[in-house]
Chains A and B, each alone.
Chain A
Amino acid sequence: MSESKFVYVTYIRTTPEKLWRALTAGEFTRRYWAGTWQDCTWQKGAGWRLMIPDGRVGDAGEVLEIDPPRRLVLSWQNQFIPDLKAEGPSRATFELEHEGDMVKLTIVHEMDKLGSKFIEQVSGGWPLILASLKSLLETGESLEATRKWPEGM
């Protein structure tokens, strides 16, 4: 298989509309996604940038597909770590499905390249960020470790 793929499925007690907002709106992402926010108009073909609190661009790409509050596909390329940037764009797919009083969130982050360092890196990062997102929506509090951008990174 000539691809690297990270798959993550979580069930969150919330509504698809709230989860969509939590995934896209800066006032939410800053709280569970290491202080970052996304610079995007959320329309198909629009540019997308993940902004680091100090003003740097962390990652950039574009909106490949968007169908709120069900599906979002982004092209996604690291911008601040040369080795990872050199791997080229990855693709992140977010799918939200209503199941009873829960929303099933599936995230697939992939690159058409075997042994991608970038996918390895995001595989280490997503679980904590997404556990924090779940905590924020279910308890009103994100996880302590995800509230600030890591020092020196």
Chain B
Amino acid sequence: MDFDPVFRALADASRRDLLDRLFEKNGQTLSELCEGLDMSRQAVTKHLVILEEANLVATLWRGREKLHYLNPAPIHDIAERWLRKYERGRLRVLSELKKILEADDE
């Protein structure tokens, strides 16, 4: 799988913010997503196109309304490819940290 478009799309705070907003409330229109944002409608549209091209956002039509949904597929693939693999190492680091902190208490 080609992760480049996904990481490129994620390498921007505004786009991560849009994903967080969809995580809070899935299935929003462009207008809803623009509410309370310090960005022009055009800028939001542009970010959404990049997110959609990276398959991080999926759109469905409800009548004449285009609704944006968080697509969990690429995030899941990242978790499988980049996180699970290192999980064992991470747990070991945490358990060592715990030991050090507890030793300090004594």
Which residues of A are in contact with B by a Cβ distance under 8 Å? 1, 5, 7-11, 106, 108, 123, 126-128, 130-131
A106 partner residues in chain B, CB cutoff 8 A: 58
Q: Is the CB of B80 within 8 A of A8?
A: no
Chain B interface: which size bin? 10 to 19
Which residues of B are in contact with A by a Cβ distance under 8 Å? 26-27, 55, 58, 60, 69-73, 76-77, 80
Min CB gap B24→A, angstroms: 13
Q: Is the CB of A7 within 8 A of B76?
A: no
Check A5/B69 contact, CB under 8 A, given A108-B60, A131-B77: yes
Partner of A9, one of B26, B55, B80: B55
Report the 5 A-B pairs with minimum CB-CB distance, sorted nearest first.
A7-B69, A127-B76, A9-B58, A10-B73, A127-B72
Alpha-carbon distance between A7 and B67 when the two chains are bound, in angstroms: 11
Min CB gap A87→B, angstroms: 18
Q: Chain B: interface secondary structure?
A: mixed
A8 partner residues in chain B, CB cutoff 8 A: 58, 71-73
20 contacts across the A-B interface (CB closer than 8 A): A1-B27, A5-B26, A5-B27, A7-B27, A7-B60, A7-B71, A8-B58, A8-B71, A8-B72, A9-B55, A9-B58, A9-B73, A10-B55, A10-B73, A106-B58, A108-B60, A126-B72, A127-B73, A128-B76, A131-B76
Alpha-carbon distance between A1 and B77 when the two chains are bound, in angstroms: 29
A131 partner residues in chain B, CB cutoff 8 A: 73, 76-77, 80
Min CB gap A5→B, angstroms: 6
A130 partner residues in chain B, CB cutoff 8 A: 73
**Sample of 12 further A-B pairs with CB below 8 A, known A7-B27, A10-B55:** A1-B27, A5-B69, A7-B58, A7-B60, A8-B71, A8-B72, A8-B73, A108-B60, A123-B72, A127-B72, A127-B73, A131-B76
Min CB gap A24→B, angstroms: 21
Alpha-carbon distance between A5 and B25 when the two chains are bound, in angstroms: 11
Min CB gap A125→B, angstroms: 11
Alpha-carbon distance between A118 and B69 when the two chains are bound, in angstroms: 18
Min CB gap A115→B, angstroms: 12
Alpha-carbon distance between A128 and B69 when the two chains are bound, in angstroms: 18
Closest chain B residue to A131, Cβ basis: B76
Alpha-carbon distance between A42 and B57 when the two chains are bound, in angstroms: 31
Alpha-carbon distance between A7 and B28 when the two chains are bound, in angstroms: 13
Min CB gap B92→A, angstroms: 22
